[in-house]
Structure 1
Amino acid sequence: MTAGPAGVARNSSGSPKAPGPRPGRVPALPYLDALESEAVHVIREVAGEFERPVILFSGGKDSTVMLHLALKAFAPARMPFGLLHVDTGHNFPEVLDYRDATVARYALRLTVARVQDYIDDGRLRERPDGTRNPLQTVPLLGAIAEGRHDAVLGGGRRDEEKARAKERVFSLRNEFGAWDPRRQRPELWQLYNGRHAPGEHVRVFPLSNWTELDLWQYVAREKIELPEIYYAHERDVFERDGMWLTAGDWGGPGEGEKVERRTVRYRTVGDMSCTGAVDSDAGTVEAVIAEITASRLTERGASRADDRLSEAAMEDRKREGYF
């Protein structure tokens, strides 16, 4: 080996020699491995810092990936967290079936807080528009208080909605479950501060730095099973405010709204009254990835009516205690 101009190391043929790793420097992980490593680190931090953590699990794609990561974080030991789901009563039956099958498969503990129970005893009232998604906050806070949970892990991602982008990974909530962006703490060098006063708790977002595309690429790599409604299928839907909604007992369709059979899939899953399907023929993980890569709309912007109520709809709900 010889030295060329400016001290550049060259091999015997005179070509520049590829630089090797610097002494003591750890090679960078592939992108998905880095995201997985970060999420597992966050989940293990929660196990180490808090006494009664719980994972929010609806059976949707984000909470399913988060559960997969949590199981992986502690394998072969048993995952030390229980699961919590706020059931609006208007959830998709396919997703609830998937939720229950997953809980049974891994022998997990699931607590279900039902919006209908709060309506029946007068603690909540039905909204005129029929949607129950905004009604989840009170049952969620009730379940957190009853379970004395000091940390609640959720699958929120920063690319979903602009209010989500203001969250820290460890998001401090006050004694009323409310979020105040001015009280959020810096998180330098992946150091997370779980300190909180009695009555407060911390919401934790292990998927903060993931995008929708990252998540689907991880689903493909890990061969994670998801509810069938995330893939193209035929469904009876009707159009409302530019979205395809599923007919159901929640109150749709209304007068003049025509039901038709279309090939659709769901990018995100919530209350049937506010979650729209998108026209799609993406019936496989690979086809979904290609579709998302070409899309110019975020999943919530394309299919969540509750985020269209105002420019600050999500942030307003978060300040009231919503996830």
Structure 2
Amino acid sequence: MRLDHLDALEAESVHIFREAAAEFERPVLLFSGGKDSILMLHLAMKAFWPAKVPFGLLHVDTGHNFPEVLAYRDRTVAEHGLRLEVARVQDYIDDGRLRERPDGTRNPLQTVPLLDAINSHRFDAVFGGGRRDEEKARAKERVFSLRDEFGQWDPRRQRPELWSLYNGRHRAGEHVRVFPLSNWTELDVWQYIDREGIALPEIYFAHQREVFQRGGMWLTAGEWGGPKDGETVQARSVRYRTVGDMSCTGAVDSTAVSLTEVIAEIAASTLTERGATRADDKLSEAAMEDRKREGYF
């Protein structure tokens, strides 16, 4: 019996979850209600079924998240009886530990709440949904990616991972980011979601939405600071390829209302999802790598 490519990817991810659960004492899964974290949770439940997932979930809430995604997050947690910790950027702004940025985006502000949550709960492994096809800096990651005692990433400290052997050794205060979806592509994710019948927030499918254009992207109006003078709001048929902070996550024009139609769009696309729809990745050529060095996802 030969596995098809989705079976092979599933088997690899399940193996990674089991290896990490066996090797670390206090793992946690980053869960935002976005498609990659939804896929990770689905794979984790497969890895440990019929037992419950042996770790909780962590969401760093910017306060500018899409309501549809937060509603999905809460429904999923309640449905499966999961433990969810929420680190809120707004709390840090309210007590002065962080300041709002002039551009209104809170994505870069997630690093401090994330690292504080990791330290306070003594998480020694953090599952993230990063994939190597998304962006140059993410392509440099190993499956088990060491972070130092300050939560910082150094690409020169990455360890070899031959024959699917993963090294989770770390000193006190350090932790490891684990990426079970490293070898998946965006198209793989959608094809697997279709095969497994995984429910997603409606934001991923074409719908009428009030948006305005900035930097070549369609952004949703909100309290974060958009639109500005001269930016006209209009109703368009759009969908989201990725979701994050509303201030930097753009929609794409689309009429795809089914998984089959979304898969056809992705297969024809020449841009990665982050390259097409994430303003924070366009700040500089090394924007993502700079944030990862500081402790970002």
TM-score by length of 2: 0.99
Match of 2:260 in 1: 286
Deviation of 1:218 after TM superposition, in Å, equals 0.2
Sequence identity percentage: 79
Q: 1:202 aligns with which of 176, 185, 198?
A: 176
Q: How does 1:301-316 map to 2 (within 5 A)?
A: 301-316=275-290
Q: 2:43 aligns with which of 65, 69, 83?
A: 69
Deviation of 1:28 after TM superposition, in Å, equals 3.8
Paired residue type of 1:292: I
Paired residue type of 1:271: D
Structure 1: how far apart are the matches of 2:72 and 2:64?
15
Structure 2: how far apart are the matches of 1:305 and 1:44?
35
Match of 1:158 in 2: 132
Match of 1:188 in 2: 162
| Partner deviation per Cα, 1:168-207 (whole Å, 9 max, x = no partner) | 0000000000000010000000000000000000000000
| Partner deviation per Cα, 1:230-258 (whole Å, 9 max, x = no partner) | 00000000000100000011110001110
Q: How does 1:115-130 map to 2 (within 5 A)?
A: 115-130=89-104
Matched, 1:89 2:89: no
Q: CA RMSD in A?
A: 0.5
Match of 1:78 in 2: 52
Matched, 1:231 2:205: yes
| Partner deviation per Cα, 1:84-124 (whole Å, 9 max, x = no partner) | 00000000000000000000000000000000000011110
Structure 2: how far apart are the matches of 1:179 and 1:79?
27
Match of 2:250 in 1: 276
Matched residue count: 297
Structure 1 runs (4+) deviating above 3 angstroms are none
Match of 1:9 in 2: none
Deviation of 1:30 after TM superposition, in Å, equals 1.1
Match of 1:250 in 2: 224
Structure 2: how far apart are the matches of 1:79 and 1:229?
27
Unpaired runs of 5+ residues, structure 1, are: 1-26
Match of 1:99 in 2: 73
| Partner deviation per Cα, 1:22-43 (whole Å, 9 max, x = no partner) | xxxxx54211000000000000
Flag the structure with larger Rg. Answer: 1
Paired residue type of 1:245: L
Structure 1: how far apart are the matches of 2:132 and 2:245?
21
TM-score by length of 1: 0.91
